[in-house]
Amino acid sequence: MNIEYEKDNKERVPFEHYKEEYRSMNPSEISRRTGFPYLEEKKCFLVRFLGKEYEVSFPEFSVVRTQEEDGFCPLLSITAAQILMIRFLTHGCQVPGTGKFLTYREVPWGEVYYRQFSGRCMARLAFSYGSRIDAFCSAFEKMHAKPIKAGDAGYEVELFDGFFIRFQIWGGDEEFPPSSQILFSDNFPAAFHAEDLVVACDVVIGTMKSV
């Protein structure tokens, strides 16, 4: 199913649709499929998103942090992050990865959305941080991302439990402009549409700028 994430529809069309669908579902089925524990006494799911723990209420969708702490919380502040969460709750499933990573073109339908992905994510990352690799590293360190040996700098984030995204960057020089690469653990296609991955990276890059 294609999800419309255009700004004019970001809150009205997909979010309200999934809220309605979410309300009609069985919390035990959601928990079994996603692996998120359901706390019956509190009527909420215990979830992790980009390394932070949240409670997502049921049947009315709302999000709160499990602990008061300083720092930017994307699932509280970014509507697209909430759409990703409710999309995973309603349609996603917890599938283990094999340890391999995919380029966006290798994801089903990735070729269709590649221009959008390249502009919104890879080019944006390279333009924002290609000449500021120290800022790239600082942002990911604040997000408690895992450093990886790739490019001039690279980090791995965990979007949901078991779903990893790797961000790599190369600084520019007199001959070549800055460039970037983004890779996805190979379980993403089992739970997300290719367009969702564009939004996921958009959320991560937005979080980098806010931490």
pLDDT confidence tier of residue 67, bands split at 50, 70 and 90:
confident
Q: Is the pLDDT of residue 1 over 60?
A: no
Q: What is the pLDDT of residues 144-163, one digit of tens each?
A: 999 999 999 999 999 999 99
The model's pLDDT over 96-139, given as tens digits with 9 standing for 90+, comes to 999 999 999 999 999 999 999 999 999 999 999 999 999 999 99
- Residues 10 and 199: their CA atoms lie apart, in Å, by 11
Name the residue ranges covered by the structural domains of the chain. Answer: 13-91, 101-210
Report the C-alpha gap between 125 and 131 in whole angstroms.
11
Mean pLDDT value of segment 44-49: 97
Task: Give residue 8's pLDDT.
Answer: 44
Is 80 exceeded by the pLDDT of residue 185? yes
Radius of gyration of the chain (CA): 17
Percent over 90 (pLDDT), the chain? 87
**DSSP labels, 66-82:** SS--SS--HHHH-HHHH
Q: Compute the distance between CA of residue 76 and CA of residue 67 in angstroms, rounded to an integer.
A: 13
